[in-house]
Amino acid sequence: MKKLIFSLFFLLSTSSFCLSEVNTLKVYTYDSFVSDWGPGPSIEKAFENICDCDLQLIGAGDGAALLAKLLLEGELTEADVVLGLDTNLISRAKETGLFAKHSKTLDLNLPIAWDDDTFIPFDWGYFAFVYNAKNISSVPNNFKELTNQTNLRIVIQDPRSSTPGLGLLMWIKAAYGDESNKIWKGLTPNILTVTKGWSEAYGLFMDGEADLVLSYTTSPAYHIIAENDSSKKAAIFDEGHYMQIEVAAKISNTDQTELADKFLDFMVSEKFQTIIPTTNWMYPVINLDAKLDKAFLSPIPKNKSLYFDPITAQETRKEALDEWLEILSK
Amino acid sequence: MVRNIKQINFSNILGWVSLTLLTLVTFGTLAVVYVKSHNNFTLTPADFKIIKFTTYQALISATMSSVLGIFLARALTRQSFIGKSILIVILGAPFILPVVVAILGLISVFGRNGLLNNTLEIFGFENISIYGLHGIIIANIFFNLPLVSRLLLHGWNSIPAEQLRLAESLGFNKQDIFFLIELPMLRTRLPGIFAVVFLICVSSFSIALTLGGGPKSTTIELAIYQAFRYDFDLSKAANLAMVQFILCFMITIIVIWTQKTQSFQVSFDRVIVKWTRSNNNLIDWIIISLSSIFLIIPLLVILMEGIFSLHLIDASILVSLGRSILVAFGAVIICLFITFSLGSVIVTSNIRSKVRWLMESSAYFIIASSPLVIGTGFFIFLFPIINPIKIVFPMTALINAIMAVPFSLRIILPAMQKINQDYGKLSESIGLRGYEKIFNLTIPRMKREIGFSVGLISALSIGDLGVVTLFSSPQSGTLPLTIYRLMGSYQMDAAKAAAFLLLISCFIIFLLTDRLAHSNVKD
């Protein structure tokens, strides 16, 4: 009897029932990527059409928690590819030694030149607060106005578990430098709650729990295209907006090297990139020209684009995080 | 004679094995944590705020649960009505209710679009928020008000009817009865109850995990989880685990010190009629109705909303239910093994009292240890040898089993003691000892207690959302974890359907084991 129990335990804990001979590629990503309305289903179908494999997209929390998850699993991780970190986490991710360098020549269309040897971008956008125009009469034009309107309730994400949450730390640092603590002190009364991930925060906003949610300048496109609803808008701040470039990389000790490379190639191909804008609601990393829906307003001008390179971001992260924890725990 | 000595040794050995296992899991993991944090024990200002918040929310929750519990227990003592015994049974339900299910129910009632806020809105009141301090306190009261009420109800019923008759013949008025009879009872019972509730609130992890809103409402247990899952900072996790242990240890000493005379009640459904009807009917009824609404509505909402979402239950939810059941099964076996091994040593008459004390108190001191501290210790210890993720389910079963030992020992030990008193000398004279005695004499005579234990252990284990959150991979969660994930990705309907499944499984297993045990007992 005991033997039976333990073998059942074993079966379930490994939970890799190999029923067929097909190779399996496991990609760890963030939750909203694999949701029914996210890019996951179409991408899985499109890749499986060309790879003769089983692509498993596995949601492992939000972007930043992905990295901690990999550290926790270490060399034993089941993942072959990790998709969904961003430039703010690249340095930290490389320190783990878990990621393999890529040897690809990339032809990308990004606002910055891309020269990272490990991570490959798959989409990008600007962080912004999204609001419902039906509910808000005076839209804040910058952080200071937002902090002055104490009646506005905002939902943000935890910078330790979520890439938009971390992005907001960087955004405020990039815009205000050492004055960032003043902005955070001013924002604290507005914060309804801090969620672990983007999905939860956006869900709360859609349920009407909050007036503004930390998301992207491209989020309103979703409501226009998918719901024919033009009431959701991104508040454009005159300090500028922080840019997020989302990236993916291969795990160095994967046993699916070829398949992983194939997936990364597919990721920057036109097929994958045309799926991204209307499912992940971010800008593609290659030039799609007319294939990009008009609801995607042209990106904000370059002089309003804020960005830290991975090394600066890593140096800023610790200090900004401590400051955030200190102020928000009051 | 030689054979007898062997038998004693065998039963003793198992007792010591269990004791070692307990010590290793609780204090061994703590030692690992201590070594890890010793090199670099620093607490940041944010950590101090976490400690402050943890004690603050526990203090408020325990105070409010106690005050409300006094009123509810008093009202229930004074009034008798149809369905009172059912209500008292329901008061016992939150003890085995999976926290994550209750949370979903509470969100449905107290959330922004919940029943309460929609009602408040109609009348033009401000909304209340379920996230953060308020939500944590509401959830804590939801779980602890029933506990306080049941324990105090027992207190009220322990007041001998003679005292009341005497009071009546002496012409006591209500104030006299309160100050001379009820207050002394409360004075002896309430401190212990308060301390237990405080301890429960200090170490409530799942509530803070699901309702905590960022750094402002983070408990120590949640911070341990965050150190793991957000930063993978093992020394930070170890530092916080030390703090959590010291805090819980101190409270546990207070609990044990204040609780010397009390026993864990297996069941309570006596309807007592000795209290004269009071004139405060209205207040009593308001308290009874409000408490019933508060405790029952969230569960009804989950049942109703869950039923309508049942089509959202997919294979992954069912597989995670299977995992939960297996973990619970493992937990039951380990827990019963430990309980009987310790119990059979404790009840043996020819054992030194120090050994007995050691076995008993080490079992009860488990309530001071937190699953997350144990998990942290396990991880730090095992990580260089084998990745704990590979053995997450056996490990969860072991930790769940050990956390349930104090309860199962309290249920099983009194019965073992009684059997030993009744049949001890007889079995001694015919040479029935050790495990032979346990299987042939003890077990058949305490099916009721075993059934209750099995039900309790499996229900606690099946609904547990503790250590498994630290280690499990995205595709290998238990059912409570799957519900938590669904909530995190805002698939509330699927989460409610899964919660319905968990709730039903939990109660079916509890009732089934309890019933089976009863059906075999010939009264």
pLDDT digits (tens, 9 = 90+) for B137-177: 999 999 999 999 988 988 888 888 778 788 888 888 878 88
Domains of chain A by residue range:
22-124+245-291, 125-243+300-328
* Cβ–Cβ below 8 Å for B226 and A160: yes
E strands along B129-207, which residues? none
Contacting residues for A131 by C-beta, under 8 A, at least 6 apart = A139, A211, A212, A232, A233, A234, A235
A324: nearest CA partner in chain B: B215
Count of positions (residues) in chain B? 523
Domain that holds residue B18: 1-41+309-523
What's the rounded Cα separation, in Å, for the pair B340 and B93?
26
pLDDT tens by residue, A92-143:
999 999 999 998 888 898 989 999 999 999 999 999 999 999 988 889 999 9
Both B313 and B301 in a single domain? no
Whether residues B287 and B319 share a domain: the answer is no
Rounded CA-CA distance A111/A214 in Å is 22
DSSP string, B426-458: HHHHTT--HHHHIIIIIHHHTHHHHHHHHHHHH
Q: Which of residues 25-44 of B touch A (CB under 8 A)?
A: 44
Please say whether the structural domain A22-124+245-291 has been given the CATH code 3.40.190.10: yes
Look at A72 and B389 and tell me if their CB atoms are within 8 Å. Answer: yes
Higher pLDDT, B178 or A19: B178
Give the nearest chain B residue to A163 (CA atoms): B230
Nearest to B248 by CA among B156, B354, B370, B387: B370
Q: What are phi and psi of A246, to 5 degrees?
A: -90, 140
A125-243+300-328: CATH topology is: D-Maltodextrin-Binding Protein; domain 2 (3.40.190)
Is residue B266 within 8 A of residue B411, CB to CB? The reply is: yes
Q: What is the pLDDT at residue B137?
A: 95
- Pair B322, B348 in one domain: yes
Q: List Cβ neighbours of B173 (8 Å cut-off, separation of 6 or more).
A: none
Q: From the list A9, A35, A69, which residue is nearest B330 (CB)?
A: A9
Query: B102-123 pLDDT, tens per residue?
Result: 999 998 888 777 778 888 878 8
The residue among A98, A201, A111, A218 whose CA lies nearest residue A159 is A201
CB of B236 less than 8 A from some CB of A? no
Q: Is B118 touching A (CB cutoff 8 A)?
A: no
Of A8, A65, A209, the CB nearest to B229: A65
CB atoms B213 and A59 under 8 Å? no
Whether the Cβ atoms of residue B241 and residue B33 lie closer than 8 Å to each other: yes
Distance CA B342, CA B413 (A): 9
* CA–CA dist B153, B291 (Å, integer): 15
Say whether both B32 and B83 belong to one domain: no
Residue with tokens 């089934």: B512
pLDDT tens per residue, range B295-323: 999 989 989 989 998 998 988 899 999 99
Domain edge (last residue) among B254, B278, B306 = B306
- Do residues B28 and B72 share a domain? no
Nearest to B178 by CA among B187, B80, B268: B187
B14 plus B55 within the same structural domain = no
Give the residue from B306, B323, B339 where a domain finishes. Answer: B306
Q: How far is CA B436 from the centre of its chain?
A: 32
Specify the CATH number for the domain of residue B340: 1.10.3720.10
Which of the two residues, A77 and A19, has the higher pLDDT score?
Answer: A77
Residue B250 and residue B125 share a domain: yes
Tell me, yes or no, whether B272 and B136 share the same domain. Answer: yes
Q: Which has more pLDDT, B178 or A235?
A: A235
Question: d(Cα A170, Cα A190) in Å, to the nearest integer?
Answer: 19
Give every CB contact of residue B23 below 8 A, 6+ residues apart in sequence.
Answer: B362
Report the C-alpha gap between B404 and B329 in whole angstroms: 13
- Inter-chain contact A329–B49, Cβ cutoff 8 Å? yes
Per-chain mean pLDDT for chain B: 84
pTM of this structure: 0.85
- End position of a domain, from candidates B281, B306, B331: B306
Please choose, from the candidates B79, B8, B95, B25, the residue with its C-alpha nearest in 3D space to the C-alpha of residue B286.
B79
Overall domain count for chain B: 2
B207/B99 same-domain check:
yes
Q: Tell me, yes or no, whether B349 and B402 share the same domain.
A: yes
Instruction: Quote the percentage of chain A above a pLDDT of 90.
Output: 62
Fold match, A22-124+245-291 / A125-243+300-328: yes
For residue B234, the distance in angstroms to the closest alpha carbon of chain A comes to 10
Q: If residue B378 lies in a helix (H) or strand (E), which one and from where to where? A: helix B371-382
3-state SS class at A124: strand
Determine the residue among B473, B481, B496 to mutate to test chain A binding: the one whose Cβ has the most chain A Cβ atoms within 10 Å.
Answer: B473
pLDDT at A157: 94
pLDDT digits (tens, 9 = 90+) for B339-370: 999 988 888 766 777 888 888 888 878 887 88
User: Does B295 lie in the same domain as B354?
Assistant: no
* One domain, residues B71 and B216: yes
Distance from CA of A110 to the nearest CA of B (A): 29
User: How far apart are the C-alpha atoms of A188 and A215, rounded to whole Å?
Assistant: 18
